[in-house]
Amino acid sequence: MLAMIKRNLLLYFRDHSGVFFSLLGALISFVLYLVFLKQNMLTSWHQMPDAKPLLDTWLIGGTLAITSITTTLTSLALMVTDKEKHIADDLTLTDAGPLRLFTSYLISAAVIGTLTQLAMFGIMWGGFYLTDGLTLSGTAVLNTLGLMVTSSLLAVVVNAAIVQGIHTVDSLGKLGTIIGTAAGFLVGKYIPIGALPSFAQSMVKFIPGSYVAALYRQFLMDDKLKSAFAGHLATRHTFERLMGIRLNWSTLLTQQETYLIMGLIFSGTVALVFGLKWLQIQRRRQYLRER
């Protein structure tokens, strides 16, 4: 399995232009936001203290959530490519076994997802440090780093559930475009969830990435929120609900609850994805036993 993970990572990182465009893909929505939407948002927040660092960290959170979704999806394309080019046939002849091969695709995609988020975080924070003097506390950074791993794992299994039904690289590319376009809206990155109609709000709450985005924002914005809303807890909660910093079920979700929901989604999807794979393998075994 290690050999296979090494192969997948080598294939990804040796393709320099692939890595570049993958980063650029994640960065483009960020840049577009800065160019087209940031000023608009700042104007509407004019009466708020610390508006700039709040908006900056809010944006970083949303972008990282999107990055985890899109980069893991692109990395899983290798699984489809291998199937299409009959490399998978060659791999099944080895002693690695289909379940371990499958797991190695998932692990390498999660590693790539984490590293790309790390790079994105560095770029965005560096950028805002230079323009707005943005600083972050050690706790905020540590929590963010931990969430990069968690969010990649979650995105990988959710994407794997989708990718299992896809057999050509061409259709995967088209799906990637659809997901990449929709994701920004679905996790409430471009437009705050509070500004959406109620149907769209419910939809956002169905997307696993929304919980990731919410957690990122909680970790990154906490200090800023504390100082901006000192002594105005109710106003702070309204702001958190409007901006998708905490998602609202019947009450605003706490950090623990958000993590729990993510954990449940993760375990459910893992069971689904590996269950399907296991069934596939069993069917194959049956035939092998016959001979």
Partner 1 sequence: MLLEAHHLTKTFGEHIAVNAVDLQIEKGSFTALLGPNGAGKSTTMNMLIGLLQPTAGQVTYDHTPKLGVVFQGSVLDDILTVRENLQIRAGQYRHVPADRVTVLSQQLGLTAFMAQRYGTLSGGQRRRVDIARALINEPDILFLDEPTTGLDIQTRLAIWTLIQRLQREKQLTVILTTHYLDEADSADNVIVIDHGRILAQGTAADIKTRYAADRLTLTSPDVAQLAARVARQPIRRTANQLVFSLPTMQAALDILTANRPLISNFEFRPGTMDDAFLALTGKEMR
Looking at the chain, how many residues does it have? 291
Q: Which is nearer to partner 1, 13 or 278 (CB)?
A: 13
How many CA atoms, within 13 angstroms, populate the side-chain half-sphere of residue 144?
A: 29
How many CA atoms, within 13 angstroms, populate the side-chain half-sphere of residue 41?
A: 20
Site string for partner 1, 92-131 (x = CB under 8 A): xxxxx-----------------------------------
**Residue choice 19, 27, 42, 91 for contact with partner 1 (CB under 8 A):** 91
Q: Which is nearer to partner 1, 35 or 288 (CB)?
A: 288
Site string for partner 1, 37-76 (x = CB under 8 A): ----------------------------------------
Give the C-alpha separation, 291 to 286, whole Å.
9
Beta-carbon contacts of 120 under 8 Å, excluding residues fewer than 6 positions away, are 23, 26, 27, 30, 63, 64, 67
Give the C-alpha separation, 51 to 107, whole Å.
39
Q: Which is nearer to partner 1, 82 or 240 (CB)?
A: 82
Q: Is 230 exposed, middle or buried (0-12, 13-18, 19+ CB in 10 A)?
A: exposed
**Please, which of residues 155-194 interact with partner 1 by CB under 8 A?**
none
Residue 79 found at the interface with partner 1 (CB under 8 A):
no
The footprint of partner 1 on this chain (CB under 8 A) covers a number of residues equal to 25
Rule CB under 8 A: which residues touch partner 1? 2-4, 6-7, 10-11, 14-15, 85-87, 89-96, 284, 287-288, 290-291
